[in-house]
Amino acid sequence: MGEVKLHGFWASPFSHRVIWALKLKGVEYEYMEEDLSNKSQLLLQYNPAHKKIPVLVHRNKPVAESLVILEYIEETWPENPLLPLDACDRAMARFWINFGEQKGPVFFNLFRTTGEAQEKTGEEVAQILKTIEEKALGDNNFFGGNTLGLVDLSFGWLPHWFEVTEQVQGTKLLDPTTLPRLHAWAQNFKQVPVIRDNLPDPQKLSAHLKRLRGNLLKN
Amino acid sequence: MASLKLIGARPSPYVNRVQFALNLKSLDYEFLVEKFGTKSELLLKSNPVHKKIPVLIHDDKPICESLIIVEYIDEIWTSGPPLLPSDPYDRALARFWAAYIDDKWAPLLRELRTAQEEEEKKRVLDQMFQVLIQLEGAYRQCSKGKAFFGGDNVGYLDIALGGFLGWMKVAEKLIGVRLLDEAKTPALVGWAERFCSHDALKDAVPTAEELLEFAQKHFMAKPPTPN
């Protein structure tokens, strides 16, 4: 015990990616909640380059960046694999994980704008979601096939966080009529026991996001 | 025999990364040159999502995104020296710093190129030097006293940063500032020299001449006055 520690933040989807991966692999860990307005000395020491959560500490060695942590977990605890075995399929999985990362700023833009600017960004987001549905997910239950993997975890902010964010920011882009397969995947994902049991309280999250959006719009 | 094609162009740091990996594994490939400003049918077909180079086509299967391609090459061709470290923690460090380079360094290079005023240029340069100092620390940590980020052999992280060496050298000619400076990042200066003189890599690092010509043709309003 104490061999694996995770520094995280209750509202962060990046933090949750790591929690889900650890739980899917059955890895015991100690969770340290960070106050982002008052980051711990340990966190600053473990991740001086970015000063961000999540940071996984294994045998006293820190790993930062959620996607780097996911690959580390996959390699260190190979039981219940979350990446395909075939190199070409792995490259494809990494491609979609990277796609999500690249498009992150567009979703953030949606969150911190209103009116016409938000509408315009909304069109871009709609295109991105369509690409994810048609090219990444297709007719599969999960990204890449029939079992949950790292790609699903990396898009894991869509089901719970984006749904709450849409209520806060007044959009309705992840819609069952326009994106039936992606919407179905989102509902499916949230019902996987490890995911279902490790999601932030929606009301608390909503209040937190309202506050964040309020601050961003003021500036 | 596996058929390998690389869609790209030498001035692209991301294409260079793939060329380094292919050379280190002694792999033959057909280089399909993309002309700047246009996108070939093959590129659009092979990378419909991003429509960008590089794309590696292996037995008709396209692989996109430079670092993903490098990892793919490492996983398929295991007889040559490994590009990624074998220890998961060292792999995590290599991936972390490669992500850092793409996250922090690449955007700054673009900003520097488009910066109009001297003050803006100075601000971007200051940030670039900060990033290089971080990378100097990363080099010391990852190399463990050896020649490259990957140790005795050139590895994933060397490749990730090495892609930018051509442009870093040209920056001195283009804007009169030496980015890799003995006074600020001595270890990286030594690393850059070793990287650029490595047998498998030296022909894949674009020359200052070809990059200057490219920059003049595509990025500059008027050619600079000759010295």
CA gap B38, B9 in Å, rounded: 12
CA gap A63, A55 in Å, rounded: 6
CA gap A157, B92 in Å, rounded: 23
Binary contact (A95, B100; C-beta < 8 A): no
Give yes or no for residue B114 having a pLDDT over 90: no
Q: Is the peptide bond before A81 cis (omega within 30 degrees of 0)?
A: no
Q: Is the peptide bond before A176 cis (omega within 30 degrees of 0)?
A: no
Determine the distance in angstroms separating the CA of B129 from the nearest CA of chain A, rounded to an integer.
14
Q: Give tens-digit pLDDT for A98-149.
A: 999 999 999 999 999 999 999 999 999 999 999 999 999 999 999 989 999 9
Q: What is the mean pLDDT of residues B187-208?
A: 96
- Amino acid (one-letter) located at B187: A
Chain centroid to Cα A126, Å, comes to 18
In which band, very low, low, confident or very high, does the pLDDT at B171 lie, cut at 50, 70 and 90?
A: confident
Q: What is the mean pLDDT of residues B113-130?
A: 92
A27 SS3 class: coil
Question: In this structure, are residues B30 and B4 in contact, taking their beta carbons and an 8 Å threshold?
Answer: yes
- CA distance readout (Å), B66 to B22, B32, B54, B70, B156: 12, 16, 6, 6, 11
Give yes or no for residue A17 having a pLDDT over 90: yes
In which band, very low, low, confident or very high, does the pLDDT at B226 lie, cut at 50, 70 and 90?
A: low
Give yes or no for residue A2 having a pLDDT over 70: no
Put simply, whether B157 touches A (Cβ < 8 Å) is no
Q: Which two tokens stand for residue B47?
A: 């990378």
Looking at the DSSP bridge assignments, the partners of residue B154 are: none
Looking at the DSSP bridge assignments, the partners of residue A142 are: A145
Q: Give tens-digit pLDDT for B61-98.
A: 999 999 999 999 999 999 878 999 999 999 999 999 99
Determine the distance in angstroms separating the CA of B99 from the nearest CA of chain A, rounded to an integer.
9
The values of phi and psi at residue A143, to 5°, are -65, 120
Residues of chain B contacting residue A64, judged by C-beta atoms under 8 Å apart: 96
What's residue A209's pLDDT?
95
Give yes or no for residue B225 having a pLDDT over 60: no
In which band, very low, low, confident or very high, does the pLDDT at B110 lie, cut at 50, 70 and 90?
A: confident
Q: Give tens-digit pLDDT for A158-216.
A: 999 999 999 999 999 999 999 999 999 999 999 999 999 999 999 999 999 999 999 99
CA gap A18, A6 in Å, rounded: 8
A55-58 and A4-8 strand pairing: antiparallel
In which band, very low, low, confident or very high, does the pLDDT at A1 lie, cut at 50, 70 and 90?
A: very low
User: Which of A63, A91, A131 is closest, CB to CB, to B68?
Assistant: A91
Q: Give tens-digit pLDDT for B15-59.
A: 999 999 999 999 999 999 999 999 999 999 999 999 999 999 999
What's residue B174's pLDDT?
81
Residues of chain A contacting residue B48, judged by C-beta atoms under 8 Å apart: 135
Binary contact (A64, B96; C-beta < 8 A): yes
What's residue B173's pLDDT?
83
Q: Give tens-digit pLDDT for A58-106.
A: 999 999 999 999 999 999 999 999 999 999 999 999 999 999 999 999 9
Put simply, whether B129 touches A (Cβ < 8 Å) is no
Give yes or no for residue B223 having a pLDDT over 80: no
CB-based contacts of A52, cutoff 8 Å, min separation 6:
A64
Q: What is the mean pLDDT of chain B?
A: 93
- Residue A65: closest CA among chain B residues belongs to which residue? B96
Determine the distance in angstroms separating the CA of B47 from the nearest CA of chain A, rounded to an integer.
11
Give the torsion through C-alpha atoms of A73, A78, A83, A88, to 10 deg: 120
In which band, very low, low, confident or very high, does the pLDDT at B220 lie, cut at 50, 70 and 90?
A: confident
Question: In this structure, are residues B162 and B195 in contact, taking their beta carbons and an 8 Å threshold?
Answer: yes
What's residue B221's pLDDT?
61
Binary contact (A68, B95; C-beta < 8 A): yes
In which band, very low, low, confident or very high, does the pLDDT at A45 lie, cut at 50, 70 and 90?
A: very high
Q: How many CB pairs under 8 A join A and B?
A: 55
Give yes or no for residue B115 having a pLDDT over 90: no
Task: Tally Cβ neighbours within 10 Å of residue B142.
Answer: 22
- Residue B132: closest CA among chain A residues belongs to which residue? A49
